[in-house]
Structure 1
Amino acid sequence: MAAVTNATPLISLDAVVIDTETTSLEPRKARILEVAAVRIESGRIEGSNRFDRLINPGEPISAFSTAIHGIDNQKVADAPDFAAVWPKLQAFIGDAIVIGHTLGFDLAVLQQECKRAGLPWRMPRTLDTQHLVQLVDPRLRRYSLEDLAELFDIEITDRHSALGDAFITARLFQALVPKLRESSIRTFAEASQACRGLAKSLDRQHRAGWVTPDVAGDRAATERMLSRVDSYPYRHRVRDVMSSPPKIIAADRSLGDALGQLIGGRISSLFVAPAGTAQEKLPSFAAGIITERDILRAMAIDGEGALKLGVEQFMSRPLATIPTEAFVYRAIGRMSRLKIRHLGVIDEAGCLVGALSARDLLRLRAGEAVSLGDEIDEADDVHALGAAWAKLPHVCASLLAEGIAARDVAAIISRELGALTRQATVIAERRMVEAGEGEPPCPYAMTVLGSAGRGESLLAMDQDNALIFESGRPDGAEDKWFAMLGARVADILNEVGVSYCKGGVMASNADWRGSVATWQARVGEWIGRSRPQDLLAVDIFFDMRGVHGHLPLADSLWRYAYDAADGNVVFAKLLVEASGPVERGLNFFGGIRTDKGRIDLKHTGLFGIVAMARALAIRHHILERATPARLLGIQALGIGGDQDIEALIDAQATFQAFVLSQQLADINAGKPASNAVAVKRLTAQERQRLQTALQAVRHLDELTRDLLFRD
């Protein structure tokens, strides 16, 4: 079972569901007669992986007790005592989350049995389904398993046997997960935190002698999994370490020719191009690869005669690739998963631009956290996707602890959000085929917008995506197919933990999908409009980045929009007006303005810098997505003061650092991540940094208007 972190979504939880049958309902007197446990792995009940033992209590069983569960003295006469069963049960549970119904009672009797037997007791991390039901519907008056099974349409089998009740509880937990998600309770930490708020119920159980479940448990153990991450693979991109240009050989050449090139170039592999094709701008789908090991294997079989044989006979296809802009940790993870030592490096058009080998990566050290990206790519269902996504906050926390800039961490979050959207699309497309809806009717591209497109996502995110398909009219056959795809993608992302966009910026919405022609007409309409209220959410389109499908569709549309808006001062000005003014973060005396002790740094800082940089990039045709790159583009044109531009770049970095740190603290505490930072948690030096950053955006509206009209 995978280690469960506070950020693990309930839909992907690894846990053990337990239940006991006892001689009494008084925890201090009760003796255990039967104990059972069932595993939940990645949110799914593993029915074959179970634990069930009868226990001899060492004292007579009353007829009243037997009438409830059917266990009498004769049935347990040859059963082992608790001391013999406990180590086996402990081994079965391990460090898993323990789930039960009215779990405080079971924990109390287990603790008492350990005390009697002189055995050590350690409180596990827990969730009680009775408490979870109270969160879903606090108006209910009855919480017995029978009542809840009827309410959630769960089949009752072997009621009042420990194993039967454990299975019913496991099914109840599964039924509660989507209900909890509707109440914005998605992760283990959020469920734990919400359960702590059930003061009356917990107090009543405590007075009855039950153990109050420790929802936190041994936190240190759960966080050790990703407590330290080597940062190099997260700070550098593939382009920084690849070999370029790519070395290519024609498929009709001999192995001897290939060996000569390898030795002469001191390299370990060659890409193979189809005979007679141009080797410049070679599409990766047409290429193969031949390595030194391939040649050695051929010679081991055929001796020197192998060198006269053709390369095509021994090359490998399809070629495994990685984009130039991918972080190095993704290349490490891909090589590890595929058990290969070479990758082709491709540009946005899918053409080979370099090579990456295991030798290139030897100097890099990386732990298990580098598997994050590839786990997302390989997830074949929502449960696996959620389990992989849950690692992200802890990777971020480790990188911040190592001194990695929040801006670089945001780029990693953005890349993985793009990967998550891509894999959600893959799963959605497969589900449509399985449902008889057929394959995609034409080439298409799934894209991310806003902060994910800019590479500036933090952890309080929702969905911002759009879909472009090659041809088809609105509400036509193609559009209807892609509408279903978009809806499935939105549902999958929401289940994993990336909420539906409140503004409807999702491919499931007709306004955010369409053919190339539809999108071009839409762009023309945007630029020709004259009211800011008509342009709400349009600005994030200019941050678009393709993440799945035929990516040139996305890139060409993005460039088309920039070309169409080139030099259009009115349109850029309307986008600024639509975004609204920057909220004041400082009071009259220069102090930090707060609401309930927090300051929303998105609305008082980040949002204004991003909107300004985007509008100026559109106005002055700066083909960049990231905010710092856009601001540096303005600086390079000589139309913005160096001091102002550099102050804004520094301010954005400061806001990102404080927001990300606060989000990680909130997630770990089971609170929803937001952009509001608690000022009390900042040191005096950090408050000074924040005041300086807020001072830099104090006159942002005036600066934006000034730079819009400069040439």
Structure 2
Amino acid sequence: MDRTSGGAPLLSLDAVVIDTETTGLDPRKARVIELAGVRLSAGKLVAGESFRQLLRPAGQSIPAEATRIHGIDDAAVAGAPPFAGVWPRFNTFLGRALVIGHAVGFDLAVLKRECDLAGLPWIRPRTLDTRQLAQIAAPELAGYSLDELAAWLGVDVVDRHSALGDAITAARVFLALVPKLREHGIRTIAEAERACLALTSVLDDEARSGWIQAVEAPERADAERTLKRFDIYAYRHRNRDIMRMPPVFVASGISVHDALARLASERTSAVYVAPNAASGDVKAAEAGIVTERDVLRAIARFGAAALDLPVGEIMSRPLAAVSADAFVYRAIGRMNRLKTRHLGVIDEAGRVIGALSARDLLRLRAGEAISLGEEIDDAADAHALALAWAKLPRVAESLMTEGLSGRDIAEVISRELGALTGQAAVIAERIMRRRGRGDPPCGYAMIVLGSAGRGESLLAMDQDNAVIFERGEPDSEEDRWFAALGTHVADILHEVGVPYCRGGVMAKNAPWRGSVATWRDRIDHWITRSNPADLLSVDIFFDLRAVHGDGSLAVAVRQAAYAAAEGQVAFAKLLVEGISIPASLKLFGGIRTEGGRIDLKAAGLFGIVAAARAMAIRYHLMDRSTPARLAGVKALAHVSETDLDALVEAQGVFLDLILSQQIEDIAKGTPTTNAVSVKQLSPRNRDRLRAALQAVTAVDELTRNLLFKV
């Protein structure tokens, strides 16, 4: 990934932090006499990767007042090379990285002047200024010198007024600013640039002093960016669409000879090994695999005697697997990372239900976009997670460019949000162990709710997660352990770029974690409520999907929830009681906006989703996605196809337009919302939007009628 693109997270940047020492403070006259830089990689200061060079300013002496500041005099630079001999090496050190500096506009100005004097080409890098960023993070500070910021942030100052020392200090200041900027909603390069551009008085002062403006408008900085084309088959199809089923299982006790015979008869290159019998009801964690290559290696090692060995002695275990509901790009990425040619395909409960081989994927190619999933799964800490997660907007943009619908892309986003949450749980478990809390006290499932569960997430998401564990009462030892785990998960996701849920729907909060028994009691309690206020956020629980741990726990609780709600018309009606769709169309077809935008979630998307969910609960439809739920209602309730099909089409339009706007806003550093600029829509998309807004006017009446149909 290009880690200088606007969507790159500040948390995990690749950057070079620079500093110069000069003959004076006027950039129109000053000469550079020391040039230095240090490297940040994935948001961490890299020890030993630095650049420092004294420079000889030809034909100019260093003033005594300048020497008193940095200690560099004419004698110190007498044997140093001129700027022209150093700049090419420094440019190589910079590469394509983002450049950061303290008051970096001054550095840019003196470096450009040196290039002009030497007849060298000047190409300005993309830059951020710690001085400006600090004014955004803490506008109340009395001053913003490097010393003052270091003292405020608790950063040690190194060799003050040497270029290398100041570069190191500025790097540490930047890293300390990142979490403070996050508190102001600034997480990416583009968001930081957008915020800096709002410091108009600061920028004016710097311009009057002859500095180069430290930041450019995000859209200009990204103007030369090109998108790689890649095979979108892997994003259109799921593993269940191409897997071979049923998987071929053999018992672990049969001979290699018999297993080889099975390979031949089934015309396959691998068989799966069950622990006790050739059963198909086997979880991936219990299964093994034997391939043609495993047999050849055994024969090479043991000779003909290998054919008499139990197949369990040469199998690989545990079986590498991928979810049946995951997109094919996930399987490609996993094969690439594990250097394997075979994967099991599992259902929600972790049972092996199919097989995938490299042959099945031969027509597909892996690239950076496909590696997204595996980078999330392989991330060891929040920095690595943030680096992988930052790819998502670029992948979404590429998929949209390739012609995928917003609905298809939302499914990809949702799968990766689930994977991100699952990996946050893995990292949280490691933190718990390091802090002496040990392993999970019992089996558990981390689940996502709402749009992530339905497969309808876009790029302005926040957290919606919960935990189901095997046993333990509220406030028991088990509950307290999972409360701590949930807190770590929430903190990791927030740090990576998925903000805390404003409604508190997170496993760290007691209402959103519990044992299987606790969840059953909680569900029964929901069903008996008579006030909509008692059911805030309850509806999204019915979208739940397991993303880590024992998926069978989530399956059991979800089935219990739907069973408890079946036929409970009053409960389903309460879930839609608060739906209020504003009138978004004017008398003659104009579209009502606020500040030139219309919030399409409020204008109709929320109403469609909530109505489809309530009807699915009413009719005991276990589908998750909104289109599938509406299709199920249409089949069971014998309702007119026109009305429900119009809602499906309207949801698709809303997803298309919101996602397109979010991609554009991310590139510009504008906060992502569900509001779309109407003026920027093409005539065709305005017509589509009007039709969608007209369709949702019938949601309330249609829903109430269908909830009472038999």
Q: Counterpart of 1:362?
A: 362
Cα distance in 2 for partners of 1:109, 1:103 equals: 10
Letter in 2 for 1:16: V
Q: Counterpart of 1:662?
A: 661
Q: How far did 1:278 drift?
A: 4.5
Cα distance in 2 for partners of 1:312, 1:140 equals: 68
Bigger shift: residues 491-500 or 345-354: 345-354
Cα distance in 2 for partners of 1:553, 1:191 equals: 42
> What is the number of residues matched between the two proteins?
708
Give SS of 2:613's match. Answer: helix
Cα distance in 1 for partners of 2:181, 2:12 equals: 14
Question: Which whole-Å deviations, capped at 9, do the CAs of 1:9-30 have from their partners, x for residues lacking one?
Answer: 1111111100000111111211
Bigger shift: residues 492-501 or 52-61: 52-61
CA contact (8 A) 1:229 1:395 kept: no
Cα distance in 1 for partners of 2:90, 2:449 equals: 49
Q: How far did 1:219 drift?
A: 4.2
Cα distance in 1 for partners of 2:344, 2:680 equals: 46
Letter in 2 for 1:649: V
Cα 1:153/1:603, change in 2 over 3 Å: same
Q: Counterpart of 1:701?
A: 700
1:564-643 matches, cutoff 5 A: 564-577=564-577, 579-643=578-642
Give SS of 1:74's match. Answer: helix
Cα 1:683/1:221, change in 2 over 3 Å: closer
CA contact (8 A) 2:101 2:128 kept: yes
Residues 1:109 and 2:118 aligned together: no
Q: How far did 1:612 drift?
A: 0.5
Letter in 1 for 2:232: S
Q: How far did 1:254 drift?
A: 2.5
Q: How far did 1:285 drift?
A: 1.7
Question: Which whole-Å deviations, capped at 9, do the CAs of 1:678-709 have from their partners, x for residues lacking one?
Answer: 00011111111111111111121111111010
Q: Counterpart of 2:390?
A: 390
Cα distance in 2 for partners of 1:357, 1:571 equals: 46
Question: Which whole-Å deviations, capped at 9, do the CAs of 1:642-699 have from their partners, x for residues lacking one?
Answer: 1111111111001100000001011111011110000001111111111111111112
1:140-539 matches, cutoff 5 A: 140-215=141-216, 216=218, 219=221, 223-224=225-226, 226-274=227-275, 276-539=276-539
Cα distance in 2 for partners of 1:220, 1:41 equals: 21
Give SS of 1:36's match. Answer: strand
Bigger shift: residues 679-688 or 302-311: 302-311
CA contact (8 A) 2:349 2:555 kept: no
Q: Counterpart of 1:129?
A: 130
Q: Counterpart of 2:38?
A: 38
Q: Counterpart of 1:651?
A: 650
Letter in 2 for 1:615: A
Q: How far did 1:305 drift?
A: 4.1
Q: Counterpart of 2:56?
A: 56
Cα 1:176/1:321, change in 2 over 3 Å: same
Give SS of 1:49's match. Answer: strand
CA contact (8 A) 1:15 1:98 kept: yes
CA contact (8 A) 2:333 2:366 kept: no
Q: How far did 1:590 drift?
A: 2.7
- Percent identity reads 59
1:71-86 matches, cutoff 5 A: 71-86=72-87
Letter in 1 for 2:13: L
Cα distance in 2 for partners of 1:131, 1:670 equals: 16
Letter in 2 for 1:682: L
Give SS of 1:350's match. Answer: coil
Letter in 2 for 1:442: C
Question: Which whole-Å deviations, capped at 9, do the CAs of 1:408-450 have from their partners, x for residues lacking one?
Answer: 1000000000000001111111101101122111111111000
Cα distance in 2 for partners of 1:555, 1:407 equals: 25
Give SS of 2:690's match. Answer: helix
Cα distance in 1 for partners of 2:100, 2:705 equals: 60
Letter in 2 for 1:367: G
CA contact (8 A) 2:197 2:215 kept: no
Q: How far did 1:261 drift?
A: 2.1
Cα distance in 2 for partners of 1:2, 1:423 equals: 23
Cα distance in 2 for partners of 1:195, 1:667 equals: 16
Cα distance in 2 for partners of 1:260, 1:688 equals: 62
CA contact (8 A) 1:453 1:544 kept: yes
Q: How far did 1:217 drift?
A: 8.9
Cα distance in 2 for partners of 1:4, 1:240 equals: 37
Give SS of 2:37's match. Answer: strand
Cα distance in 2 for partners of 1:255, 1:457 equals: 47
CA contact (8 A) 1:659 1:676 kept: yes
Q: How far did 1:356 drift?
A: 0.5
Question: Which whole-Å deviations, capped at 9, do the CAs of 1:131-170 have from their partners, x for residues lacking one?
Answer: 0011012233321111111111111120000010001101
Cα distance in 2 for partners of 1:663, 1:129 equals: 27
CA contact (8 A) 2:280 2:353 kept: no
1:13-28 matches, cutoff 5 A: 13-28=13-28
CA contact (8 A) 1:5 1:390 kept: no
CA contact (8 A) 1:124 1:214 kept: no
Q: Counterpart of 2:3?
A: 3
Give SS of 2:697's match. Answer: coil
Q: How far did 1:220 drift?
A: 5.0
Question: Which whole-Å deviations, capped at 9, do the CAs of 1:569-590 have from their partners, x for residues lacking one?
Answer: 110111111x331122212333
Question: Which whole-Å deviations, capped at 9, do the CAs of 1:68-107 have from their partners, x for residues lacking one?
Answer: 1011111111111111111111011111000000000000
Give SS of 1:659's match. Answer: helix
Q: How far did 1:365 drift?
A: 2.5
Q: How far did 1:218 drift?
A: 7.5
Cα distance in 1 for partners of 2:230, 2:673 equals: 25
Q: How far did 1:222 drift?
A: 7.6
Give SS of 1:285's match. Answer: helix
Which ranges of structure 1 fall in alignment gaps of 5 or more residues? none
Give SS of 2:624's match. Answer: coil
* TM-score normalised by L of structure 1: 0.98
Letter in 1 for 2:596: G
Give SS of 2:432's match. Answer: helix
Letter in 1 for 2:419: A
Cα distance in 2 for partners of 1:312, 1:445 equals: 30
CA contact (8 A) 2:273 2:289 kept: yes
Bigger shift: residues 57-66 or 120-129: 57-66
Cα distance in 2 for partners of 1:438, 1:255 equals: 40
Cα distance in 1 for partners of 2:458, 2:518 equals: 32
Cα distance in 1 for partners of 2:387, 2:224 equals: 14
Q: How far did 1:458 drift?
A: 0.6
Letter in 2 for 1:461: M
Cα 1:620/1:261, change in 2 over 3 Å: same
Cα 1:217/1:672, change in 2 over 3 Å: closer
Letter in 2 for 1:24: G
Q: How far did 1:221 drift?
A: 8.1
* TM-score normalised by L of structure 2: 0.98
Give SS of 2:77's match. Answer: coil
Question: Which whole-Å deviations, capped at 9, do the CAs of 1:508-528 have from their partners, x for residues lacking one?
Answer: 111111111111111111110
Question: Which whole-Å deviations, capped at 9, do the CAs of 1:500-557 have from their partners, x for residues lacking one?
Answer: 1111111111111111111111111111011111111111111111111111111111
